[in-house]
Amino acid sequence: MPEYTRDETMDDVLAKVAKESGDREEPGKKGEIPVGENVRKFREAAGLTVQQFAERTGFSAALLAQVENRMVSPSLGTLVKIANAFDTTVSAFLGGKEEREFSIVRKEERAVVSRVGLKEGGKSPYTYESLGSGKAGRKMEPFLVRLQPLSEPPRARSTHDGEEFLYVLSGKIEVCLGALSDILEEGDSIYYDSTIPHHVHSADAREALILAVIHAG
């Protein structure tokens, strides 16, 4: 791979590819966070081109360009890997409060991050809200996640360092974990190593609400 100090042509081409593919997130929704723009700011502050960013994270340059241009919002697993590449936390991309030794997040303060994935499983819409923003030096990332019904079963799986804990607050979810596929209902929970290929989605025609706690390792 050639070294790039600032290859505007490469970045421009990738941005063009991003704009020509994928479903665009609806801009300007109240309370929603421009995650892609924040990811771009981290990359530019580090002095990286999109290609160098791809080499550091292991994702394709085209996918990262789509993320930055808000054509695709990243899943939590993707954000964990990007955050690890920058030696930061997922919440750093969500913006928000000054960090201190504790954090109280009022329900009206929770900003929503929406995701409409277009990868191999087709559309996989869900939203997530950070419950731990503002806690300095945190080792865990708690989220409230709303999973919408899928039109077809997903094939893609996520892997990253760390551990995850999921608790079903309402609805029903299917957890695909390595060779395991199981249904969890309200009150059920699962705790697993995130290095195991995994995917979680609503298991029926209703929205599912889960508490997800991620330790990024």
Distance (Å, whole) CA 36 – CA 53: 13
CA 70, 71, 77, 80: dihedral to nearest 10 degrees? -30
Q: What residue spans define the domains of the chain?
A: 8-215
Mean pLDDT per segment of 10 residues, for the chain of length 217 residues?
A: 41 45 40 75 91 91 87 79 84 71 82 52 62 81 87 76 94 94 97 93 92 87
Which pLDDT score, from 0 to 100, does residue 175 have?
94
Task: Please compute, for residue 117, the number of CA atoms within 13 A of its CA located in the half-sphere on the CB side.
Answer: 26
What homologous superfamily is domain 8-215 in, according to CATH?
A: Jelly Rolls (2.60.120.10)
Distance (Å, whole) CA 195 – CA 214: 12
CB atoms within 10 A of CB 62: 16
- One-letter amino acid for residue 117 of the chain: G
Distance (Å, whole) CA 71 – CA 116: 9
Distance (Å, whole) CA 11 – CA 15: 6
